A and B are shown apart, each in its own frame.
Chain A
């Protein structure tokens, strides 16, 4: 009964979130565009599915994933588990290898499950007529987030300056943007922006919290946000790099074919 209550509450909350969008769409469709919607019942049912889907999804995350994620982050960062003696003078970055590995794996896995990323990838595949592969895109994003989180946790442990890391990251991204095939830029930046969403943000916050309570002198708020920033930035790099490599491989193949002729 308690579970059903929670689900009902989530459903109502999701409906409340959906309401403004519905109002705007219906309002504009009816008053401005003044056109009937194609297949209105199908579309309405689609919205109901989105509503149910998000409610179930959020409820499931709250029930299963988030508590476990938080517990794991705390356990992994616990000095007892890592074998750090409490009287040790300083923290060695190598003590926290398990944490980096966990961050990398978690970042990779959570991005694959992230609904917003799936949505963008599906749209990209559809609109490019299959030239862009949805799974390939998602894997690139996941790799980016994995690298980002690994680097981010490393920074937390070693105490590097967040501003320096972010600045370097931005510079890298801008260089890649200048060199990458123009057609992929919008998609790359969109994917970077959506990847920090429903699943990733709470898990990353838990990770930041777990680390901050274990590593001396860390602030959970600053470090949590730092991890999010890393998780946003690196997928962009991953997709831009992937596009450049694919482009280069394609051109090399074409050149080889020309030579053979």
Chain B
């Protein structure tokens, strides 16, 4: 039975990857009309992607989703808001601060800031700046997940939070130093990783299902949305603080 299911997963993954392969091949061969460099690498790479995707989806349905849901139910049953919020914050903060894409972005940002004389061009100053940036983004995501969980429990409409969030973003954009704005907008997209997304989604949907009077689809989604919004605001604030202190 397992092999059957996995085989179906492989077929699905192949279908998922097919559009990209088709686009790339068609453009390279028919439009640009150049041969594909290292075709063996392309084939092996494609196979790896298909296999990887199949494993990922299988693991998702077997591990990530059930754990997220069961923890949501357990927290709801336990009834302690404090522990739930602490978990939400820990999840957001902990997964973001170690996020490699964020580490890379922070490093580049520090280099740019040093070049722009916002901070001293020493390794210590750049390291501090990068670490401060990472913690800021991690804080933002932790905060977002906490607010998101409170929203699910209280039943606040997401649109209200979104409008407030976008409003803050626009205000911050007006006041923030120019060099931080692009970085801030980028950090919103970078933070939610392939592992965090299913977990946080399952948590939100699970909570919305477990709590009476909450609709799973209406209330359960939106955690990721908030986690993409708050880093922008927090990073621009970080930029403003650094400017003001420097």
Chain A contacts to B: CB under 8 angstroms? 3, 13, 16-21, 23-25, 28-29, 32-33, 35, 37-39, 42-65, 67-69, 71-72, 75-76, 81, 98, 102, 105-106, 108-110, 112-113, 115-116, 118-120, 122-124, 127-128, 132, 163, 167, 170, 174, 177-178, 182-187, 189-190, 192-194, 196-199, 201, 221-222, 225, 228-229, 232
Contacts and interface: CB of A to CB of B under 8 A. Distances in A.
B63 A44 contact: yes
B235 to A, nearest CB: 12
Which one of A43, A44, A113 has the highest number of Cβ atoms from chain B below 10 Å of its Cβ?
A113
A33 B97 CA distance: 24
B142 to A, nearest CB: 11
A98 B33 CA distance: 13
Contacts of B158: 185-186, 189
Given A17-B195, A122-B61, A115 B56 contact: yes
> Top 8 A-B pairs ranked by shortest CB distance?
A46-B63, A64-B45, A49-B59, A60-B48, A53-B56, A57-B52, A56-B52, A53-B55
Size band of the B side of the interface?
35 or more
Contacts of B197: 116, 119-120, 194, 197
For chain A, what secondary structure do more than half of its interface residues adopt (helix, strand, loop), or is it mixed? helix
Contacts of A185: 157-159, 162, 222
Contacts of B170: 167, 170
A228 B32 CA distance: 25
A228 B185 CA distance: 9
Contact of B222 (A98, A189, A194): A189
Interface stretch (B86-94, B116-124, B236-244): B86-94
Interface of B: 16-17, 19-20, 22-24, 27-28, 31-32, 34, 36-37, 41-67, 70-71, 74-75, 78, 83, 87, 90-91, 94-95, 97-101, 157-159, 162-163, 166, 170, 173, 182-183, 185-186, 188-190, 192-199, 201-202, 205, 209, 215-225, 227-228
A107 B8 CA distance: 26
A192 to B, nearest CB: 7
A124 B220 CA distance: 10
A50 B57 CA distance: 7
A38 B20 CA distance: 38
A59 B48 contact: yes
B225 A177 contact: no
A105 B59 contact: no
A67 to B, nearest CB: 8
Nearest to B62: A46
A119 B20 contact: no
B93 to A, nearest CB: 9
B27 A105 contact: yes
Given A54-B194, A81-B32, A189-B225, A63 B45 contact: yes
Contacts of A62: 45
Contacts of B22: 109
B53 A65 contact: no
A233 B223 CA distance: 16
Nearest to B80: A32
11 contacts: A20-B97, A21-B199, A28-B83, A45-B59, A49-B56, A60-B45, A61-B45, A123-B198, A123-B202, A183-B217, A229-B189
Given A16-B98, A21-B195, A187-B221, 11 more contacts: A28-B83, A43-B63, A45-B63, A51-B59, A53-B55, A60-B50, A65-B45, A118-B53, A127-B216, A186-B218, A232-B188
